[in-house]
Structure 1
């Protein structure tokens, strides 16, 4: 199959989405009308700004024609620092960058913060590929965003739009080191692990997929071992699973939680002092962890800072970060997945199972969403939810699930409880169980693990909101933040 014939349902994004009903991309991050198909059969997503477009609507750029695509370096910066945009535009023409901040904003989901001047777009060189590692580090800088001192910390999305109406996106983070009740950690390492850019049937590769010479999508055994942050995200430019974090952010900001923001690479690089926060929140799918990340999370817990994991399959693969060829730190991600010398492995295969931090660990995929079954409903987490033992919260076990492994050691704890025990059918038709865990470390820190992909979407995603999960999450965060 030639590159021009790549069909969307054969793309890497949808190859993953079949096992994650809450991870399909491009994800709606700015709320508006529903998706619809235009007269050419092309999807016009929720975030298309029809008022600005020419010819009847904006169109999503793709990785074959690269109408407009880009990436940033670094991915997170503080007010007073700069973020550099590297953007390709084909055919060459003017383009603009609208910068939005994710939040509640009266239900809009995001607010426009600034717009760039009209910029001159050029066709950047093709991506470089060596041993399935794809990089665009040789692209010229297109625009430098100097972050003003008055900007709020948070998750941001840059919307790139060409003069003829093609659109793409780039996520980035504005952080600072001021104390806050909660530090939200965006899983940029896991986002990159799933990135198949370019989804062109030839060049692109992730830690899951690559293409053969006939344009067929290959599996993990033929995927990349090392991938680069110096490239756009595939498709619309938003990472797979990015919506999990955005769902939590909208809900938490709506109810006034005091949030600071950082990326997983900030945790890795030692830029985070856990003592400044009452809790660290991991809001989305966060599968790939370096050794420094794990040590930092363990130090946080042991120092009295609580940990909140709102997804499943957390800290599954052990990975390494390395500098780019030009020496910029943490721009290359390596995970050998049991292949080759010095291979990376599952944490549980190097005698450090994730359960020793989380209290539960990854059990498997959930082919069809199933109910979460409440357990220990008298516990304070379920206060004011109306939930009783055995109650079912529909569709809340989805994507992937964690459970307690009795033969695996638990972390040291003063008390521990399982708050859900939910049967579901695996892909072979066998009955498995999902569990939700909470324990208190000797330091007093609480460690919560939801054990399902669907927890964050239940906070603020249309069609998935559940008031019981909203209240339970508030109970947890209020206790961590010591709210009255």
Structure 2
């Protein structure tokens, strides 16, 4: 996968979540007492053992990007964060196309493949809706939209799990590339992590007290248990990864009592 293709996707991820950072959500100092998740019980570790795929990117399968001024295909999520059992609704626009392909990927490490393919369906432009399966682990997701002519666009969204305790809650920042880079690094290192938007916290769809600490690459959340990562792209973005940044991030999480486990 070429660097321009990666960056195009990462820009779309950031653009899709930017609105949630308009006002900060406060995370209180006290976390709810809950059992510590062991490596064997970590859903993220199990998830990342699944086969990965890099076929989500622009350029794969002879696809190409859209015209930024008159895009050949677009997708807008009715909500940028959904829970298992809730519907994911995408408003699809594809001028001149009678059908499009919708493929869903979960971003992560997956042995270096960086994503896992979950489903592919043919849809007609308009409203496309599917319920989030209970088996989809909380994380960063992409709806990969492709026209018959090969034009491709991406719509990012988050799957949150309101009832699950975790060591870390990753609140997406809305900054280009940052969320994907942080998420891939956390999952590569085996952290027990769930995901949410700042809007989820403000609307109380997700309770940050279910996590030992909150991690973010932006300023959408604040509080004594929030770890701000100021060099997110250096954590896992190809060509920009720095071991010093990865070590500093791990030490910051250790300081709030959160350790990693690759097993």
| TM-score, normalised with respect to structure 1 | 0.41
- The offset of 1:482, in angstroms, is 4.5
Aligned alpha-carbon RMSD (Å): 2.6
Question: Is the Cα–Cα contact under 8 Å of residues 65 and 90 in structure 1 kept in the other structure?
Answer: no
The one of 457, 460, 477 aligned to 2:233: 457
Question: Is the Cα–Cα contact under 8 Å of residues 31 and 107 in structure 1 kept in the other structure?
Answer: no
1:265 matched to 2:199? The reply is yes
Partner of 2:10: 27
Q: Secondary structure at the match of 2:226?
A: strand
C-alpha distance 482-83 of structure 1, shift in aligned 2 (>3 A): closer
| Gap runs ≥5 in structure 2 | 1-5, 14-51
1:120 matched to 2:120? The reply is no
Question: Is the Cα–Cα contact under 8 Å of residues 96 and 161 in structure 1 kept in the other structure?
Answer: yes
Question: Is the Cα–Cα contact under 8 Å of residues 167 and 258 in structure 2 kept in the other structure?
Answer: no
Deviations 1:284-328 (A, max 9, x none): x44xx5xxx6xxx44xx3xxxx111113xxxxxxxxxxxxxxxxx
- The offset of 1:91, in angstroms, is 0.8
C-alpha distance 155-72 of structure 1, shift in aligned 2 (>3 A): same
Q: Secondary structure at the match of 1:165?
A: coil
Question: Is the Cα–Cα contact under 8 Å of residues 93 and 162 in structure 1 kept in the other structure?
Answer: no
Aligned residues: 215
Deviations 1:376-416 (A, max 9, x none): xxxxxxxxxxxxxxxxxxxxxxxxxxxxxxxxxxxxxxxxx
Q: Which runs of structure 2 are paired with 1:359-398 in the superposition (5 Å)?
A: none
Structure with bigger strand share is 1
- The offset of 1:483, in angstroms, is 3.7
* 1: CA distance, partners of 2:199 / 2:209: 18
1:87 matched to 2:61? The reply is no
| TM-score, normalised with respect to structure 2 | 0.74
The one of 158, 161, 164 aligned to 1:176: 161
1:479 matched to 2:255? The reply is yes
Partner of 1:186: 172
- The offset of 1:463, in angstroms, is 1.7
Question: Is the Cα–Cα contact under 8 Å of residues 53 and 113 in structure 2 kept in the other structure?
Answer: yes
* Bigger RCO (CA 8 Å, 6+ sep): 2
1:153 matched to 2:87? The reply is no
